Amino acid sequence: MSTKHLLAEELHPLLDTFPELNLSDELLPAVREAMGATVVMGDPEQVQVDRREITTASADGTDIRCLVYTPRERADIVPGYLHVHGGGYILGTADMSDIVNLMLASKLGIVIVSVDYRLAPEYPIPLPLDDCYAGLAWLHNNAAELGVDRSRIAIGGESAGGGLAAALGIKARDLGEYDVCHQHLTYPMLDDRTGTPEQPGDPLTGEFVWTREANQYGWTAYLADVERAAPQVPARVETTDGLPSTWMFTAGLDLFRDENIHYAQRLMASGVPTELVVYPGACHGFQGLPGTKLAERFVRDHMQALGTALGVEVKE
């Protein structure tokens, strides 16, 4: 059964731009190379943002690359935002989010750190989450030099990046070393059970861009033979009490729709201030197709919600 008739008409070209992923250990290098070839870095001068590269040591001593974005026109003390890129835990780099992070730093006047965490299957859990935690630690430990208010540091990301951000929120809560004031989650990858025969999900979701088969490959690569548990699998966390305020975005045709809604409901039931946004007619990765009304709406909603959470105005 095709769900193309439920997809917003303006998004139909996305199906040609993002063909169905065929993932395997043998094909993964070629998929990564093809994805890397499409990455376009933004122009920091155009938006008056300084971009630099730093490294910070992860838990096993490995240096992890991060991109740091600092707006030139800003208050003396500003919020910070740790960003985590998507890619199913197996694909992507911090570079692919460069244009968006430049825009957010410029429009919100905030400092952004984007973590280039290591990818599965070469680096399964706990390493990717450890890398993100190292990025959060670096942002906190360098807050004075960066002019960042430690009490206003948010975390966020898209897809697997949103999943890692949610996992990071749990880890930060449980360890109590670094405060997180907010998590900004865009169709996050939260539950390893989604797409299995035991939990296939609504058949009206998951046809486009990120399928059940891709999802199970990504989770298997990420979790390897380790027990499937929180924080690496956020949906399996015992309690959501004490997690930071949350903006949860999902899409009506996204495979992650129901796990996102369920997690948001758990947060609400724990008294966590949570905003849940669902776009009908949209699918996973829809904002990757530029020039659509849905993509433009998402940019506005995402930026406004992040600004509200951090207590800053969006610059015109």
**Tens digit of pLDDT for each residue in 246-257?**
999 999 999 999
Say what the pLDDT of residue 4 is: 96
**Residue 279 resides in a domain:** yes
Which of the residues 95, 159, 184, 302 is marked catalytic?
Answer: 159
Domain count, the chain: 1
pLDDT of 238 above 80: yes
Average pLDDT, the chain: 97
Band (21; pLDDT cuts 50, 70, 90): confident
Q: Which token pair is 27?
A: 């094909």
Catalytic one of 58, 116, 254, 302: 254
Is 159 a known active-site residue?
Answer: yes
60: domain CATH number is 3.40.50.1820
Q: For residue 3, is it within any domain?
A: no
**Residues 193-235 pLDDT 10s:** 999 999 999 999 999 999 999 999 999 999 999 999 999 999 9
For residue 19, is it within any domain? Answer: yes
Question: At residue 250, what are phi and psi to the nearest 5 degrees?
Answer: -150, 175
109 within a domain of the structure (yes/no): yes
Q: Is residue 316 one of the residues assigned to a domain?
A: no
Q: How far apart are CA 222 and CA 115, in angstroms?
A: 17
Closest CA to 165 of 68, 263, 64, 75: 263
pTM equals 0.98
pLDDT at 52: 98
Which 8-state DSSP code applies to residue 62?
-
CA distance 115 to 82: 8
Is 254 among the residues known to form the active site? yes
The one catalytic residue among 83, 184, 284, 302: 284
pLDDT tens readout for residues 119-166:
999 999 999 999 999 999 999 999 999 999 999 999 999 999 999 999
| Per-residue pLDDT tens digits for 108-117 | 999 999 999 9
